[in-house]
Chain A
Amino acid sequence: MDVTFYIAGAIAVISTVLMLTRLNVVHALLYLIVSLLAVSVDFFVLGAPFVAALEAIVYAGAIMVLFLFVIMMLNIGRHAAETEREWLTPGIWKGPVLLAVILILEVVYLARGASAGLGTGAIGPKEVGIALFGPYIIGVELASMLLLAGLVGAYHLGIRKTEKPEIRHVTDTDEGRADTGGDLVLAGTDRSARTT
């Protein structure tokens, strides 16, 4: 158990260092995913399977998808295809794939053997849930309020860029109205000039 823990920790450290030294954002994201998965394996070795599952689902799933979505949103530029062609050179994926294969071998080894905790034994999700909704119920409420605040804040920050075209649209219609009014006035003067 000690050996697997240290191997996963070393993979986490190595992938984090490689993430910090990448220049491309997507490559760094790959290494960050590998690092998060390694930390998840660490949690599993430490006897916290619930937290390991949460790490793999929430961090490596949801938050990384958020990162990837924003990167792809910002990447819709003029030379997106050229940068994509540059990024897709073979050999880049070898590093993360190597580290991930080591992690997979480790998980297979852990799944075949008896997966007890490091030293003191495992703490299952039941005890965590009892502790979470027992003495930490105020913390749960605070976390829910924080998540709501984060949701509203992200929505507010994201909605501002869609307000600008609306304002432009309103001004366009106002200008159109002013133009038509000017045309009407000119037409009236023309008519009055013609009648007189």
Chain B
Amino acid sequence: MFSLGLTGLLVRRNLIFVLMSLEVMLNTAGLAFVVGGSRWHQPDGQVMFVFILAMAAAEVAVGLALVVQIYHRFKSLDVDAISEMRG
């Protein structure tokens, strides 16, 4: 139960580096799944984490392709300007 509170604390991080924090949020969601699965001793939580992992991989591939595309579209944006896109 305390571990569930810890995962809640992890989920509450803000979006700053958008993709990285998306990674962190998906990761904490998976952590919550695994914690629940180990709490009730079911393998379903780990199965859900595997699905979250696959979804995160696809999402990161598409997101990074979008970042490259944005960088090539707006040539004046360098990496620092991209890193200042805060939400």
Q: B interface vs A, CB < 8 Å? A: 3, 6, 9-10, 13-14, 16-17, 19-21, 23-24, 27-28, 30-31, 34-35, 37-47, 49-51, 53-62, 64-69, 71-72, 78-80, 82-83
Contacts and interface: CB of A to CB of B under 8 A. Distances in A.
B87 to A, nearest CB: 12
Contacts of A161: 68-69, 72
Interface in A1-34: 5-6, 9, 12-13, 16-17, 19-20, 23-25, 28-29, 32
A48 B46 contact: yes
A115 to B, nearest CB: 13
Given A48-B46, A63-B60, A147-B58, A74 B71 contact: yes
A104 to B, nearest CB: 20
Secondary structure of the A side of the interface?
helix
A14 to B, nearest CB: 11
A96 interface: no
Given A32-B23, A121-B41, 13 more contacts: A17-B13, A20-B16, A42-B31, A51-B50, A67-B60, A70-B64, A74-B68, A118-B3, A128-B46, A139-B47, A147-B58, A153-B61, A154-B62
Contacts of B51: 139, 143
Interface in A48-77: 48, 50-51, 54-55, 58-59, 62-63, 66-67, 70-71, 73-75, 77
